[in-house]
Structure 1
Amino acid sequence: MPMSGFLPNWSPEAVVFDCDGTLMDTERHWQEARGRSFRDFGLLPPPGFAERAQGVHYVDCGRLMAEETNKPDLAADLASALLGHFLALVAEDPVTMPGASEFVRLCSRRLPLAVASNCPLEVVDESLGRAGLRRYFRHVVVPTESPGEPAGAEPATDGEQEPVVRPKPWPDVYSTAARLCGVPPQAALAVEDSLTGVESARRAGLRVLGVGPLPHHGDSGRADTWITGLDSEEVLSWARERMPS
């Protein structure tokens, strides 16, 4: 799907980026980590599992791995193994996605930027820091509680504490990021590579730019526009025009 529709005619007031697979080339690390975790427990990955797991919080992914291999008691152990393998892999090889660094720098000329990720905070900070991108983001928002809250429940509050932030596909990470950037959700642009993330951003009220190969045989979910990569000259030209130095 070429870039069209809202982007050429609209200027966001903030941009909120997913991290894995959008800014950082880490989806291959998650895939390898899932494979290693399955092997740790003598399990075989179910057909099509990689696509179903894309963008899913690692705790939910461990649960999914356990359910789909008929080993429900291993959910916590698989999640722990998955995170451990991933942290080791990303520390060895932090690589940005094509065009991500330039697009971030262009957007940062004029706009507040944030990251909304399902990864643990230390993973996001380490990945972006090693790639030289962390300084461009005013805020990094990650889940503050474990997945698994019943559907339809609202974020809980406790006195003066901040509301909890649930993982994607809940809208919390994106709605929180827009609020921290000081803009209403409808004035912010989300940049996402997975349908889980697209759903999260749309539920929060952001407009969504999908990036990368179209998932599910061409289904772009609820993304407003989908491009093949942030290195696309079309999207970089748009950013240069909208974010002049």
Structure 2
Amino acid sequence: MENLELIIFDCDGVLVNSEPIINRIFAKTLTEAGFPITHEEVTQKFIGKSLVTCISILEKTYERTVPAELIELCKEREMIAFQQELQATEGIATVLEQITLPKCVASNSSHRHIQFVLKLTELFHQFDGKLYSAYDVKRPKPYPDVYLYAAQQMEKAPENCLVIEDSVTGVQAASAAQMLVFGYAPQSHQGNSSHHDSLIAAGAKLVFEDMYQLPSLLKLWR
């Protein structure tokens, strides 16, 4: 890809290890409130999806409304857990220092969440405020809106963008935006082999397991 001009990173699961924390708390809080669901079920059903989409799925499943205060409680618990447990993805700080191309973040999460986790893991400065959220557009991933919006804001053509994604939902969104996608599936990911295959099936050009591999992969595609 000779005209690679921009690298767009997903946030949760790519830059920071927030997903296991979010899924654990979501499952615990929902179960306590009478929406019984396991950590594993949350991971399988909701990874990469926006909060609005997750709530919609829950309400259809249980045929009742998920109270707004329940979601707020989840967010409060997440903030506390993040301060105690959250870490940047292994190798990402070094990799971001090595990347010379323009880069930004495009996530299904809110701006508040993106800023909080990146500041907590000392990655915020790497993106110079270039953070884009599904809350900026009409539709979240798997629709391409947030990726197209990020490219537009960065003044780059979609076909000259590379996306780093860890979820099928995100890969589908980037593919729909006509962008090159690399799937990230660390060995710690549950069902790594099947997840690898799912990312490829969704449109990832390749899948890598170690973030330290990314600079070498970029050289191969430039």
The TM-score range, normalised by the shorter chain, is: 0.7 to 0.9
1:66 aligns with 2:59: yes
**Higher CA-based Rg:** 1
1:180 aligns with 2:171: no
Which residue in the other structure is 2:4 paired with?
Answer: 12
TM-score (norm 1): 0.77
Which residue in the other structure is 1:24 paired with?
Answer: 16
Query: For 1:1-245, what aligned pairs fall within 5 Å after superposition?
Result: 10=2, 12-45=4-37, 48-68=41-61, 70-74=62-66, 76-107=68-99, 109=100, 111-138=101-128, 139-144=130-135, 164-212=137-185, 213=192, 216=195, 218-220=197-199, 221-232=202-213, 235-239=214-218
Identity level (%): 24
How many residue pairs get aligned? The number is: 212
Q: Give, as a single letter, the amino acid of the residue that structure 1 aligns with 2:7.
A: V
TM-score (norm 2): 0.84
User: What does the per-residue CA deviation read over 1:50-99, in whole Å, with 9 as the maximum and x for residues that have no partner?
Assistant: 2121011112212223332x242226455444333323322332211122
**Unmatched segments (≥5 aa) in structure 2:** 186-191
Question: 1:31 deviation in Å?
Answer: 1.1
Note the aligned Cα RMSD (angstroms): 2.5
Would you say the 8 A contact 1:59–1:76 is kept in 2?
Answer: no
- Secondary structure in 2 aligned to 1:226? strand
CA separation in 1, counterparts of 2:196 and 2:181?
A: 19
- Secondary structure in 1 aligned to 2:207? strand
Tell me: CA distance 1:208–1:214, structure 2 relative to 1, closer, same or farther (3 Å).
farther
Q: Give, as a single letter, the amino acid of the residue that structure 1 aligns with 2:116.
A: E
User: What does the per-residue CA deviation read over 1:175-233, in whole Å, with 9 as the maximum and x for residues that have no partner?
Assistant: 1111122210110100000000001111112110000135557322111111113133x
Q: Give, as a single letter, the amino acid of the residue that structure 2 aligns with 1:181.
A: M
Tell me: CA distance 1:115–1:53, structure 2 relative to 1, closer, same or farther (3 Å).
same
Would you say the 8 A contact 1:142–1:165 is kept in 2?
Answer: no
CA separation in 2, counterparts of 1:96 and 1:141?
A: 19
Tell me: CA distance 1:214–1:76, structure 2 relative to 1, closer, same or farther (3 Å).
farther
